[in-house]
Amino acid sequence: MTSLSREQKLSLSDTMKLLGVSESTARRMFARLEENGYAVRTHGGIQCVNQTMMLYSFEQGTKTNIAKKAAIGRKACSLLRDGDVIFCDSGTTIQCFCNEMIFYIRDKKINIKVYTNSLANLELLSPHMKVTLIGGEYRTNRKDFFGYIGEQALGGLYFDKTFIGADGCVDAQCFTTTDFETARLDEIAMKNSESTIMLVDSSKFSVFSHVSFAPVKSLYAIVTDHGITKETQSKIEKEGCRIILSD
């Protein structure tokens, strides 16, 4: 654990050499560390759980990669169709999408019905279109609602498209978030949606958070910026998921 805390990341082979153990023993150690909440297993290794992985701040997110998020939001609007019923989760990239959607529907003269668990999205969109807020217990750090009441409401709704964000991605295979509550709501929305579109800036492909919730192969498309590497793009496309790059 000391070496992991110092290095933050360890590969399976490095752990075997460092401790002089077999591959099966190293994997069991990884599993115990993950079960106890000290680390998260990755493809071929393990990474220490730190503050970045565990905590989320909506306010901090509004100050990060804003131009990229706005461009991603504009590009994602091209996937909207007249009459769509959509779900938008919380997060600053989705908020940028909602902001761009206001101008898009006005320009294209289309009608969109929006459901969201985000108070920030509601305040932004409600003067311009019909919005239904999915309620529950309020979280100030995400400016959204979560929990049993929200899950029950979401479970009885069906969407043409679900637009979600993420806090990280593991080896271009699965997107992650900081907490189980966010993961659970998004999983329900994804299950009840004709197609799910992930909106993330390219920095998310080099980090990951505590809870995995959205396998790449379950997504219709990922909208991101040109900072995504060719290797990552190739891995994602092999999973049958479209990559849409912002302008």
Alpha-carbon distance of 217 to 181, in angstroms, equals 22
Q: Where do the domains of the chain lie?
A: 2-49, 58-245
pLDDT number for residue 28: 78
Instruction: For residue 94, count other CB atoms closer than 10 A to its CB.
Output: 24
For the residues of 99-111, what is the DSSP string, one character each?
Answer: HHHHHHHHHHT--
Note the pLDDT of residue 13: 83
pLDDT in tens, 198-212: 999 999 998 878 789
Using DSSP's 3-state secondary structure scheme, residue 232 falls into helix
Q: What is the second-level CATH architecture of the domain 58-245?
A: 3-Layer(aba) Sandwich (3.40)
Cβ atoms 86, 163 nearer than 8 A: yes
Distance CA 181, CA 244 (A): 28
- pLDDT average, residue stretch 87-107: 96
pLDDT, residue 1, reads 44
Answer whether CATH 1.10.10.10 is correct for domain 2-49: yes
Please report, as a single letter, which amino acid is at residue 66.
Answer: I
pLDDT digits (tens, 9 = 90+) for 107-120: 999 999 999 999 99
Q: Which of 33-37, 85-89, 154-158 has the lowest mean pLDDT?
A: 33-37
Q: Which amino acid is at 115?
A: Y
As a whole number of angstroms, the distance between CA 45 and CA 27 comes to: 9
pLDDT for 64 equals 67
pLDDT for residue 38 is more than 90: no
Highest mean pLDDT among 76-85, 176-185, 210-219: 76-85
Nearest alpha-carbon partner for 4 in 32, 55, 29, 39: 39
Q: Which of 178, 145, 180, 170 is nearest to 236 (CA)?
A: 170
